[in-house]
Chain A
Amino acid sequence: MTTQADHGPAIELVGLTKRFGRTLAVDHLSLQVARGSTFGLIGPNGAGKSTTIRMLMGVLSPTAGEARVLGMDVRTEPVRLKQRVGYVPEMHHEYRWMRVEEVIGFCRSLYPSWNDRTCREMLDLFALDPRKKVKHLSKGTLAKLSLLLAISHEPELLVLDEPMVGLDPIAREEFLEGVLRTLCDRGQTVLFSTNTLDDVQRLADTVGILHDGRLLVHRNIEELLGSTKRIRATLGDGGRPGRVPAGTVWQRVEGREWLVTVGDFSPEKVEQIRAESGVEHVEVIDLGLEDLFKDFIKGQRAGS
């Protein structure tokens, strides 16, 4: 029997807020992540990504607001929720005195849906030595072990907080293309936070940009890249930048060059710049996710 909770969003945050003393880490964050989607959460250091994820996983209590994961309230059903969610934290704190096989055995005993075949495949893929003690693993190998533990119980939702930190380029590629791609293609919901924007552009179908605990953008990545453009205008002699178009994300004037990044781009915005600012030349530039992200953050910083 399916319930409404099985059809709703995989993640639903309503006004989620976290305050540490006088510091506001997450500020009334409302967000929905659809089932089967791959959501990339990006933001500068200290934006509140890890805090948000920790609240999602029920290991940090929100100051206000609600978080529902797979239709369950993270505060009231933590055990059921964790059985259905795989999580790779930013820092890996497995018991250092355990051997790899002992960590696996320990986790296996706690997940009813543990799949030994998946686990063995991951052990082979990551070339993990089951007899090795956790304290003797390198940072990258520890990350691989965390991934194995998060994936082997075949979660409906995979939450990854900076999962690629510490992985060498080959392991990173194997993880991205081998593991994460398979999960995405299987229709499992994936939420991952990262500072490597190339990974987000490659894998995510939806992206959220977090800054100072607030969600600046939450859009389909293709739509976002298609609708956000940078306009480079060369001002004429004595020309001055006119009124910025609606939806301007960031702007900079340097000499005669005026750069304006606009969301919801339309040719009318170019015409507005041309008409109101006495420009000699206007060029529209497509942005990659990295430039787009930088412009959103710089725009926010300039505005605050």
Chain B
Amino acid sequence: MKWLIWKEYRLNRLVLIVGAVLLVAPHAAALVLALRGVGLQVRGGLLLQLSGNLMVSGLYGMLLSQLTLALLGGHAIACERADRSAEFLAYLPVARTRILAGKIALALVTVALIWIPNLLIVRWAMAGLPEQGPRFYADIWSAFWTLVITGLAAFCVAWLLSSFLESPTFSICGGLVTPWLVLMALAFLVWWFEWPEQVIFLGYSITCLVLGPACFAAGTWHYLRRVEP
């Protein structure tokens, strides 16, 4: 299993580097801005400005993690088909379930390494801000939640496409675009039927929470059932 996880890490090393850059860059920018006296949300001392900036950068970090997750999901299966190394793997005595376990383990660790720091940073930043602040941070946790379920949907849709396709590019694009299509479709329905705006948030949450696991399960099932690499 160690070698399978190592193989996954090496296959996705570039994606992980991109993920690390996208994780660090917003917070580094927030720090630089605070040091230069720029407060994105609140003005005051350095610590207060840093807290306000990090709260924003935490959300940006979550937003940018969509790209990492779509890259990870899209790469998961299709990239080995694209360079035909899936053929090599197919001739080796390793069960598909073990191969998948390696891929899922890498994805889970990556998600944890991206989301947990962002979560902790936002929590720390919130603690350092006055209780009565701009309306923006009253909604921060719902924004955070929306980005979490968007990431889940992006990864799972890309995973599903990756299990069917030979091209990681299409899988990644599919993963990135689908949550936005869902959002646009819901916005259109709300506008068309004149529903209250809260329906968008609720509908989006439900759709992503259903779509994500369903796509993941379908992709996994297809990969396990398929005889050809």
- Interface residues in chain A, defined as those with a beta carbon under 8 Å from any beta carbon in chain B: 57-61, 75, 78-83, 87, 89, 91-98, 105-107, 109-111
Q: Considering only CB atoms, which chain A residue lies closest to B91 in the complex?
A: A87
Q: Is the CB of A94 within 8 A of B91?
A: no
- CA–CA, A111 and B93, complex, Å: 7
Kindly state whether residue B87 has any CB partner on chain A within 8 Å.
yes
* Interface contact B94-A79, CB-CB below 8 Å: yes
> Can you show 26 pairs from A to B with CB atoms below 8 A apart?
A57-B91, A58-B227, A59-B87, A59-B227, A59-B228, A60-B228, A75-B227, A78-B93, A79-B93, A79-B94, A79-B95, A82-B91, A82-B92, A89-B87, A91-B84, A92-B88, A93-B85, A94-B85, A105-B3, A106-B3, A106-B7, A107-B92, A109-B3, A110-B3, A110-B92, A110-B93
Asked if B139 is an interface residue, CB under 8 A from chain A, the answer is: no
* Alpha-carbon gap, A82 to B89, bound state (A): 11
Q: In whole angstroms, what is the CA distance A79 to B89 when docked?
A: 12
Minimum CB distance partner of A108 in chain B: B3
Instruction: Find out whether the CB atom of A96 lies under 8 angstroms from the CB atom of B83.
Output: yes
CA of A107 to CA of B95, assembled, Å: 14
Is B36 close to A, CB under 8 A? no
Closest 4 interchain pairs by CB?
A82-B93, A61-B227, A93-B84, A83-B93
Contact A59 B91 (CB under 8 A): yes
Q: Is B90 an interface residue (CB 8 A)?
A: yes
CA distance A94 to B227 in the complex (A): 19
Q: In whole angstroms, what is the CA distance A97 to B85 when docked?
A: 10
**B227 & A60 in contact (Cβ 8 Å cutoff):** yes
CB contact list, B56-113 vs A, under 8 A: 83-88, 90-95
Please name all residues of chain B whose beta carbon is closer than 8 Å to the beta carbon of A109 when the two chains form the complex.
2-3
| Complex alpha-carbon distance, A105 and B7, angstroms | 11
Contacts of A58 in B (CB 8 A): 227
Inter-chain contacts of B10 with A (CB < 8 A): 95, 97-98
Interface: B229 (CB within 8 A): yes
Q: Is the CB of B93 within 8 A of A91?
A: no
Which residues on the B side are within 8 Å of A78 (C-beta)?
A: 93
Across the interface, B83 reaches (CB within 8 A) one of A61, A75, A93, A111, namely A93
**Residue in B7, B88, B90, B91 with the greatest tally of chain A CB atoms within 10 Å:** B91
**In the complex, chain A residues whose CB is within 8 Å of the CB of B2:** 109
